[in-house]
Amino acid sequence: MKASDIVIRRAEESDGEFAYQTVERTMKGYALALWGTWLEAEARRNAASDAKSGRSRIIQRGSERVGVVCVDRLATHHQLEQLYIVPEHQRQGIGAHVLQLVLSEAQAAGLPVRLRVLRNNPAKAFYERHGFSVAAESPERFFMERALNLPETPVLQTARLVLRPLRLEDAPAIQRHFAHWEVVRWLDGRVPWPYPDNGAEMYVQGSMDVRAQGKRFFWAICFKEAPHDLVGLIELLPDDGSHDQRGFWIAKEFQGRGLMTEAADRVTEYAFLQLGWPHLWLTNAEGNVASSRIKRRQGAQLVKKMEKKYVSGVAGGEVWLLKSEDWKRHRTL
Ligand X SMILES: CC(C)(COP(=O)(O)OP(=O)(O)OC[C@H]1O[C@@H](n2cnc3c(N)ncnc32)[C@H](O)[C@@H]1OP(=O)(O)O)[C@@H](O)C(=O)NCCC(=O)NCCS
Residues of the shown chain interacting with ligand X in the complex, contacts defined by CB under 6 A: 183, 186-187, 248-250, 255-261, 284, 288-291, 293-294, 297
- Residue 325: phi and psi, rounded to 5, are -70, -35
Nearer to ligand X, 249 or 270 (CB): 249
* Stretch (H or E) spanning 4: none
Residue nearest to ligand X (CB): 260
Shortest spacing between CB 203 and ligand X, in angstroms = 14
Shortest spacing between CB 41 and ligand X, in angstroms = 53
Whether residue 255 contacts residue 291, with contact meaning beta carbons closer than 8 Å, is answered with: no
Shortest spacing between CB 193 and ligand X, in angstroms = 13
Beta-carbon count within 10 A of 233 CB = 25
Nearer to ligand X, 206 or 256 (CB): 256
Shortest spacing between CB 291 and ligand X, in angstroms = 4
Nearer to ligand X, 107 or 291 (CB): 291
Shortest spacing between CB 294 and ligand X, in angstroms = 5
- Residue 130: phi and psi, rounded to 5, are -100, 20
Query: C-alpha angle with apex 285: 135 to 157, nearest 5 degrees?
Result: 80
Shortest spacing between CB 243 and ligand X, in angstroms = 13
Nearer to ligand X, 224 or 293 (CB): 293
Residues pairing with 60 in the sheet: 7, 65
Query: C-alpha angle with apex 102: 72 to 22, nearest 5 degrees?
Result: 75
Beta-carbon count within 10 A of 56 CB = 25
Nearer to ligand X, 71 or 200 (CB): 200
Shortest spacing between CB 257 and ligand X, in angstroms = 5
Q: Strand ranges (DSSP E) for 3-95?
A: 6-10, 57-61, 64-73, 78-85
* Stretch (H or E) spanning 144: strand 141-146
Nearer to ligand X, 94 or 260 (CB): 260
Say whether 257 sits in a helix, a strand or coil: coil
46/17 Cα distance (integer angstroms): 11
Shortest spacing between CB 178 and ligand X, in angstroms = 9
Nearer to ligand X, 65 or 279 (CB): 279
Q: Enumerate residues 6+ apart whose C-beta is below 8 A from 224.
A: 157, 160, 161, 162
Query: C-alpha angle with apex 247: 241 to 248, nearest 5 degrees?
Result: 175
Shortest spacing between CB 261 and ligand X, in angstroms = 3
Pairing of strands 133-137, 141-146: antiparallel
Query: C-alpha angle with apex 290: 306 to 175, nearest 5 degrees?
Result: 95
Nearer to ligand X, 79 or 255 (CB): 255
Query: C-alpha angle with apex 192: 190 to 194, nearest 5 degrees?
Result: 145
Nearer to ligand X, 121 or 292 (CB): 292
